[in-house]
Amino acid sequence: MYDKGQAQKLQQQTIEWLAVAIAKDNKKYSSENIEGLRDVLRFHEYRYYVQTDPLIGDTEYDNLYKLLEAFEKESPVIITADSPTQRVGNGLVSIFLKVQHLVPMLSLANSYNEEDLLDWDRKAKELSGQPEIEYCVEPKFDGASVSVIYDNDQLFRSATRGDGVVGDDITQNTRQIRSVPLTAKFSSYGIEQIEIRGEVLINKSNFKKYNDRLIEEGIPPFANPRNAAAGSLRMKDSAAVGKRNLEAFLYHISYIIGTDNRQPTTHSGMLEMLWDLGFRSPKKEMLVVKGIDKVIAHIEAFESQRDGLPYEIDGMVVKVNDLQLQERLGMTSHHPRWAIAFKFKARQATSKLLGVGFQIGRTGAVTPVAKIAAVQVSGVTVTSISIHNEEYIKEKNLMLGDTILIERSGDVIPQIVKSFEELRDGTETAIKFPTHCPVCADLLFKPEGEAVWRCININCAAQVVERIIHFVSKDAMDIKSFGDANVRKFFELKLLKDIPGIYRLDYEAIGKLEGFGKKSLENLKAAITSSKTQPLHRLIYGLGIRYVGENTAKTLANVVGHLLQFSDYTEEQLQEAEDVGTKVAGSIYKFFHDAENLHMLEELERLGISLKNQKKQVAENDSLAGQTFLFTGTLSQLKRSEAEERVEKNGGKIVSGVSSKLNYLIVGDDAGSKLEKAKKIQTIKIITEDDFIKMLPA
Ligand code: IVH
């Protein structure tokens, strides 16, 4: 797509435009060279979304994008339909128009084992009269199938699969997917119009993040990334689609107008053409081999890598590589004969919904948990599944006694995909939600606008126990040897009643309990003592303030010198912290204005738990204030820990990885990947240990 010379030129221009962006010098550039800025943005979109190898950080990209937006706002006449700013839709789509695909979107025949593949290969060989066939093998991406049409090099239309003949026009939403270029030089291959098929995906980590947020907000999560991708494509608000970080792999050309001998004659050649034109085709994931044996070997090898991929695949697709041969083989009434899908072992299973229990979380949220007949899904026995909330139960139309389909994808917790209503025999009963807390018997309450019922008695035993479990957990105060079971046991035996109680345990009484030898008691004691000096962010996270996850806790820890200072903060002041919006600020404010909470914190301090931000305390001067540092390789004059301490003592910050947020990378001997990564981000200053020492005050 971009040769070395072009890439270098665009990177040079990036630096120039970044300087303009930083100077906020909107006048400096005229409308004539604005296309140059667009090219720079397109180049970085390509590096990030197609090559997945960015050259600049997110902030730099945002700055360039905002600069283009500012120019275009100033003189709207210069806006072009393919400007990177024009992906974002304005307004809502009221309905999706029905559109006919240029060529029906067929599905593939499935195969499940070696035999099926050998059979299919035998038939293809018979029909073609060839002794051995060249195949292209690709992953079978597990997302939502779409078509995109380019007309005279412009993205013209995109549609869902629908019934295969007619789909929904989702052009505006597809424009939000940054790996789908708005323009592509098909004309350089003599192509006037082209219809391409592909799969829209949401990667595993975005899916998890997205679902966690839904669950936190009491909104039913998606059962799997495929449903999340399909659901996202059907949203009416295309700007919201843009925020879902959808990705697309384009893997099949279904229609071409414009005959020309510049067009590839093989399927793999087409995937290369797409890649060269700026699409994310499976060029890097495909394998071209002769003969079915090599296909089978590759499929086996690929399946073992399945869990390590960033996105879900549910099998592999084998395609005859020669396009002429594809045409000769043609199709049956349902499927093309030139391709076959190989399906991996299912991650779904059916089970029975036997009962529902109700758990109270640390924030009082009532979570219904389905008890199901034990079933194996991808190697794990599942006996219970969270069914989130009342709305979810209604939406999935779940009843006790139902036969259900469950799925466990990647490291995501199992979910119910659906219930089989057609299998009901009339003995099924409705799931009844309790009106009172099953633990403390208080009346349950559902705040307006929320989907979750809550027990609002903050002294409810279930909540107290869950709060203690969270406090001692690995990502919070990390008190090893104090697992969930011990917390529950001590609580039941009244040896522990609240968080400060952890530091007042009666070890003599615990020593008398079964299973508590001298050694385990000592371990527990030591772990509790060492937790007293955990960094402040762990304590903040451990307090379990609603909406305050680990990242927000880290941000908050750097805001104050002592935790109790938050009791003087207004909601507005809290919102000044990075990533703290109104909802989060409201929750933090409430926590630090609750007398019981403040009392608990004072008690913790009396018991020796540090509420101070140790790092903030020790800064002796601020010569490095506002700057971030990272060390890599072996230093020769200072120890790594010493060097880091010097940074902090002078008001600088150590960051954990190379990103656009890093200002200085200090390079020692044998520096590795961090240096390589930093070289790609122009704003990072790469310096030696000597340079660093010179920066420190004498
Ligand atoms: S080729 C004419 N290639 O799997 C056939 N399909 O039934 C064109 N899929 O509906 C499809 N990854 O949505 C093809 N690398 C891949 C694919 C793929 C996923 C989907 C596609 C299709 C279904 C097969």
For residue 248 and ligand 1, the question of a CB distance below 6 A is answered with no
**Residue 406 Cα, ligand 1 centroid: separation in angstroms?**
23
**Residue 132 Cα, ligand 1 centroid: separation in angstroms?**
24
For residue 458 and ligand 1, the question of a CB distance below 6 A is answered with no
Ligand 1 atom with the shortest distance to the CA of 336 = 2
- What is the residue with the minimal CA distance to atom 15 of ligand 1? 140
**Residue 118 Cα, ligand 1 centroid: separation in angstroms?**
20
* Dist. CA 207–CA 415, nearest whole Å: 13
**Residue 294 Cα, ligand 1 centroid: separation in angstroms?**
21
* Dist. CA 141–CA 309, nearest whole Å: 11
- What is the residue with the minimal CA distance to atom 21 of ligand 1? 145
For residue 109 and ligand 1, the question of a CB distance below 6 A is answered with no
For residue 108 and ligand 1, the question of a CB distance below 6 A is answered with yes
Ligand 1 atom with the shortest distance to the CA of 110 = 7
Catalytic residue among 140, 283, 319, 396: 140
**Residue 140 Cα, ligand 1 centroid: separation in angstroms?**
6
Residue of 102, 103, 108, 147 to test ligand 1 pocket, by largest number of atoms within 8 Å of CB: 108
- What is the residue with the minimal CA distance to atom 10 of ligand 1? 107
Annotated catalytic residue 140: yes
DSSP 50: I
- For residue 156, give the H/E element and its range: strand 154-160
Confirm if 400 and 355 have CB atoms less than 8 A apart.
yes
Ranges of the chain whose pLDDT falls below 50? 617
pLDDT of residue 648: 77
β-pair partners for 136: 288, 319
Tokens matching residue 123: 């038939």
Contacts of 84 (CB under 8 A, 6+ apart): 38, 41, 42, 45, 65, 68, 182
For residue 454 and ligand 1, the question of a CB distance below 6 A is answered with no
Ligand 1 atom with the shortest distance to the CA of 106 = 2
For residue 313 and ligand 1, the question of a CB distance below 6 A is answered with no
**Residue 319 Cα, ligand 1 centroid: separation in angstroms?**
10
Alpha helices in 418-506, H assignment, sequence order: 461-472, 484-492
**Residue 89 Cα, ligand 1 centroid: separation in angstroms?**
28
Specify the long-range contacts of residues 686-690, CB closer than 8 Å, at least 24 apart: 689/635, 689/636, 689/637, 689/638, 689/643
How large a percentage of the chain has pLDDT more than 90?
61
Confirm if 364 and 456 have CB atoms less than 8 A apart.
yes
Q: For the whole prediction, is pTM greater than 0.85?
A: no
For residue 317 and ligand 1, the question of a CB distance below 6 A is answered with yes
The residue length of the chain stands at 698
β-pair partners for 144: 200
pLDDT of residue 189: 94
For residue 338 and ligand 1, the question of a CB distance below 6 A is answered with no
For residue 110 and ligand 1, the question of a CB distance below 6 A is answered with no
Backbone φ, ψ for residue 246 (5° rounding): -75, 155
For residue 283 and ligand 1, the question of a CB distance below 6 A is answered with no
* Dist. CA 59–CA 75, nearest whole Å: 25
Ligand 1 atom with the shortest distance to the CA of 335 = 2
* Dist. CA 560–CA 558, nearest whole Å: 6
Contacts of 409 (CB under 8 A, 6+ apart): 204, 224, 225, 312, 347
**Residue 137 Cα, ligand 1 centroid: separation in angstroms?**
12
**Residue 107 Cα, ligand 1 centroid: separation in angstroms?**
7
* Dist. CA 569–CA 587, nearest whole Å: 12
Residue of 197, 331, 343 to test ligand 1 pocket, by largest number of atoms within 8 Å of CB: 197
Ligand 1 atom with the shortest distance to the CA of 144 = 13
Ligand 1 atom with the shortest distance to the CA of 105 = 2
- What is the residue with the minimal CA distance to atom 8 of ligand 1? 252
Sign (positive or negative) of CA dihedral 651, 656, 660, 661? negative
Specify the long-range contacts of residues 426-431, CB closer than 8 Å, at least 24 apart: 427/401, 428/399, 428/400, 428/401, 428/402, 429/399, 429/400, 429/401, 430/399, 430/400, 431/356, 431/368, 431/393, 431/398, 431/399, 431/400
Confirm if 365 and 463 have CB atoms less than 8 A apart.
no
